[in-house]
Every structure is written in C-alpha cells, then in structure tokens.
Structure 1
Amino acid sequence: MKTSVVTLDAGAAGEIELDDAIFGLEPRADILHRVVRWQLAKRQAGTHKTKSRGEVSYSTKKIYRQKGTGGARHGDKAVSQFRHGGTVKGPVVRSHAHELTKKVRKLGLKMALSAKARDGKIVVLDKAELDEGKTKALKAGLEKLGLKRVLVLDGASVQENFSRAARNIADVDVLPTAGANVYDILRRDTLVLTKAGVEALEARLK
C-alpha cells in the first residue's frame, strides 16, 4: 500500500510503499492479546511475599495448657488463626514470565502494525530530527500534524535532540526500531514511523 510522507512542519515529502505482508494483514485479537499478556507478565516484578508459619518470629512454647481453659487447643502463636501469625499459602517471590514462541511474537508485531494501518493511524515522517533539543519545537510540529498520543519509531537509533525534546511531552514515546513492541504500539492513538523506521521494520520482519 502507498502512503504519504510528511515533514515535521506538516509539509509534503513524497510517498512511500508499505509492505502488505507487514502492514496489510487482518489483525486477530487473540494473537495481540497473547503477545501483550506475555510482555506484561515478563516485566511484572514478582517481589510480593508474606511470611509463612515457619518464618514469623514467635516462641514455640505452648501458649496455654491443652485442656481446661474452655478455649480451642493451640500450640504456639505462629498459627494463621492469630493476629501476626503466619500466612497459609501466601504469595512468594517468583517470576511471572512465561514462554511465547518467536513466530507468535513476530506475527503479533505485524498484526499491531496492520491494525494501525487499517485504522488510518500511521503517519510516515521524512525524518525525526531537530536542530535543538527543545520541547517547544517538537510540540509545535506535533500540533501542526494534529498528533497527541503518539509512538514515534525511528531507525536503528534516535537522534539525541529529538529524544530529549520528547521527554517532557506527555503521551509521546520515542523508540528505535529494535524497541518496537505490540503493547506500546497499541496503547498510543497514532504510530509515527520515519522512512528509516519503515525500512528497518521491513528488514526485521521479513
């Protein structure tokens, strides 16, 4: 498919051909869901922890005699029935990550790109470069293009001035092509690709 290329000041810069094998697929919600779930599970800290009966600090001495008190029979204060006692089957430190094949991850990325293309939410920039790393200059350019919640994908690297200018703008993310992922693509309204970014994505996903 062909799409227009624009400059940061909303000028025309020709056209570019987007590969239908990457930008022209029919998105499947189940594939996208699997990839997003894999991403979020992998980054979850998993540092939640409660103390078991063997980890709480209490004496193991019997707290009162076995019979004759009129109460239930207990051995020590560490049992879960008592306040500050150990937790039964509580959370432990662990990794939430699970396996997902490269084939599915690659397909998910293609489908995320295709979903944006199908909805007309892809903008191709001539290049993502600024003379100075000023937030004001980048914000003015995005306003001219009518962009608010965007993810900008550049080529192998992102220009330092452009990256610095984007840091202070809410809901604007800038990544090199190597960092392109399904979750970040889907959570922003518009995907902005540079010409170098398109070439790098097609080289990566073919």
Structure 2
Amino acid sequence: MELKVTTLDGKSAGTVDLKDDVFGLEVRPDILHRMVRYQQLKAMAGTHDVKNRSEGARTGKKFVKQKGSGGARHGDRKAPQFRGGGRAFGPTPRSHAIDLPKKVRVLALKHALSSKAKNGSLIVVDSVAQQEAKTAALRTTFGKLEWASALIIDGAAVDQNFALAARNIPNIDVLPIQGINVVSILKRDKLVLTKAALEALEARFA
C-alpha cells in the first residue's frame, strides 16, 4: 500500500510503502473490542472500599440478651441491618485487570492501524518539529490541515516545542511511539504518524 507523505505546511514530501500485514488487514471488531475492554479494565483504579462489620467504630458489646427480650436475637450494633452498621458484601480494593494473550494485543494494534488506513484517516508527515512552542500558530496549521480530532505519533522522543504547543489544543493527543495504543487510536478521527514513528512501527512488527 502506497501513501503520500506531507509536511505540516501541506506540501508533498514523497511517498511511503505500508506493509499489508500491518496496515492492510481486514478489520475485526471483535479483536478491537477485546483490546479496548482490556485497556479500560486495566486502567481502573480499583480503590473503592467500604467498612464491613469488623471495621466499624461502634462497640462490640451484645446489646440485648439472647433470650427473653421478645425480639430477634442480635449480637452488636455493627451488624449490617442496623443504622451505622457495617456494609454487607461491599466493594474492597482489588484489581479489575483481565488477561489477554500478547499475540492478541499485537494483532489488535495492527487491526486498529488497518482501520485508520482503510477509511482514509491515516496520515504520514515528514516531521512535526517546531522552531517555537506557539499554540496559536499550531492551531492555525491544524485548521488548514483539517485535523480537528487527531492522534499524533512521533518517534522515540516527541519534539519538545511541538508537544508544548499542542498540549492545550482540544481533541489533539501527542504520544511517542512507545505510547501507541488501540484506545487512543480509536478515540480520535485521524491518526498522524511521522516517518520516524512509521519506521519504529515497522521495526517493531518485523
């Protein structure tokens, strides 16, 4: 698959050949769904907690004798049925993460890249390096390129001026190649790869 390379000025910068086994797969929504669920569950903090019967601050004394009161038999006031008592079967801190084979995770990333290439939302730029960290100028550039919602992936290190200028622009995400993931790709309308990012991806899947 051949794709044109552009610059941030909108000028042509040649072409690149994309590998069909990475960018030309028939997209499988089920694989993407499994990966999105895996990422979202792994990102959950899992710090929710309530006090159970043993953690309450109330006294542990038996408040009514076992028999002869004419009422039910009870122990202390920390029982769940009493106001101020502990919570029965409440949530406790835990990890929500699920397992997903590495081969499936790699395949999901390929399908996400293929989905962007298939619908024409994949863009390759020569470089995103900037002379100055000017948000207003970069917003104007994105407007001309029609990048209203985009994920921009650079090489091993993102140009600092570009990262500073882009971080306050809504619906624009900037990541190094190490941070590329399925959720971030699907979240934005366009996927922008620099030539350095493309070379790193090809080396990763080689």
User: Fold conserved (TM > 0.5)?
Assistant: yes
Q: Is residue 128 from structure 1 mapped to residue 156 from structure 2 by the alignment?
A: no
TM-score if structure 1 supplies the norm length?
0.95
For 1:148, the equivalent position in structure 2 comes to: 148
Q: 1:39 deviation in Å?
A: 1.1
For 2:16, the equivalent position in structure 1 comes to: 16
Q: What is the CA–CA distance in structure 1 between the aligned matches of 2:193 and 2:5, rounded to whole Å?
A: 10
For 2:182, the equivalent position in structure 1 comes to: 182
8 Å CA contact 1:53, 1:87 repeated in 2:
yes
- Which residues of structure 1 form unaligned runs of 5+? none
- Which residues of structure 2 form unaligned runs of 5+? none
Q: 1:194 deviation in Å?
A: 0.8
For 2:57, the equivalent position in structure 1 comes to: 57
For 1:39, the equivalent position in structure 2 comes to: 39
Aligned residues: 206
Tell me how large the CA RMSD over aligned residues is.
1.3
Q: 1:34 deviation in Å?
A: 1.1
The percent of aligned pairs where both chains have the same amino acid is 54
8 Å CA contact 1:110, 1:205 repeated in 2:
no
Q: What is the CA–CA distance in structure 1 between the aligned matches of 2:59 and 2:178, rounded to whole Å?
A: 55
Q: Deviations over 1:93-148 (max 9, x none)?
A: 11112221111111000000000111111111110111101111211111111111
Q: 1:56 deviation in Å?
A: 0.7
For 1:197, the equivalent position in structure 2 comes to: 197
Which AA in structure 2 matches 1:83?
R
For 1:95, the equivalent position in structure 2 comes to: 95
- Equivalent runs, 1:152-167 vs 2, <5 Å: 152-167=152-167
Q: 1:86 deviation in Å?
A: 1.1
Q: What is the CA–CA distance in structure 1 between the aligned matches of 2:118 and 2:144, rounded to whole Å?
A: 23
Q: Deviations over 1:131-170 (max 9, x none)?
A: 1011112111111111111000111111000010111101
Q: What is the CA–CA distance in structure 2 between the aligned matches of 1:70 and 1:117, rounded to whole Å?
A: 76
Q: Is residue 172 from structure 1 mapped to residue 162 from structure 2 by the alignment?
A: no
8 Å CA contact 1:152, 1:172 repeated in 2:
yes
Q: Is residue 26 from structure 1 mapped to residue 7 from structure 2 by the alignment?
A: no
Which AA in structure 2 matches 1:79?
A
Determine helix, strand or coil for the equivalent of 2:54.
Answer: coil
Which AA in structure 2 matches 1:141?
T
